[in-house]
Structures are given as structure tokens and as C-alpha cells.
Structure 1
Amino acid sequence: MKDLTLKFADRADFSAFMESIGYYDDESMQDDILIDVIGNVYKETGELTEDGRAGMC
């Protein structure tokens, strides 16, 4: 078994990648490749939300 780490700019970028490789529609690929989403990293944008807290993206 080999491990490979991919990093994406945001969740939309990850979703676009998954759609582009056809992962959700290809049962054979799902059997061969395990995709484990480990977590999301948030960063401050420097902008304030409506309630005055620091914005996260």
C-alpha cells in the first residue's frame, strides 16, 4: 500500500478534483483507491464577520 497526500486550496477545489476524476461514479476506482479526508485547515482572512469576530475561510 502506498500513501499519497494531496492538498487543495479549499473544499470546492477538492470537490472539483473528485468530480474531474469521476471518483463518485466509478465503483471500480472506489474499490482500488481509498480516499481518506483527514481534515480541513482554516486561515484568518483579516475580515470581520457581521458579529465582529475574525473571519475564517
Structure 2
Amino acid sequence: MDCDASAIEGPSVEGPGGDAGASARREYERRRGAREQRIREEHPKLGGLILALSDDP
């Protein structure tokens, strides 16, 4: 008895027109940029140092 290989493999995990996790990556980048901007505005002279020494939340 022969089987159709596409029936065994199942559906593709990629959505239409994009990579899996792309929206999560964009949201991460958006939040990271907002955090960096907020810290630099609140601490104009030490903002870069604070960002360099701290880990992302």
C-alpha cells in the first residue's frame, strides 16, 4: 500500500509570507528601543553607561 508523503509530513509551520516568530522579534525590538530611549531621556549623562552595565529585562 502506497502513502502520499505530503499527508505524513503535515502542514508547514511558516505562516503566509513570513518567518515563524517574526512578530515576536518586532515586538522585542520595539520594547527594547522604547526602554533605551526612556533611560537616555531620564539620565542624559549616564544613560549610555546604565544601558551598557545592565541586562535587558
Q: Compute the TM-score of the two structures, normalised by the length of structure 1.
A: 0.29
Structure with bigger strand share is: 1
Structure number with larger C-alpha Rg: 2
Structure with bigger helix share is: 2
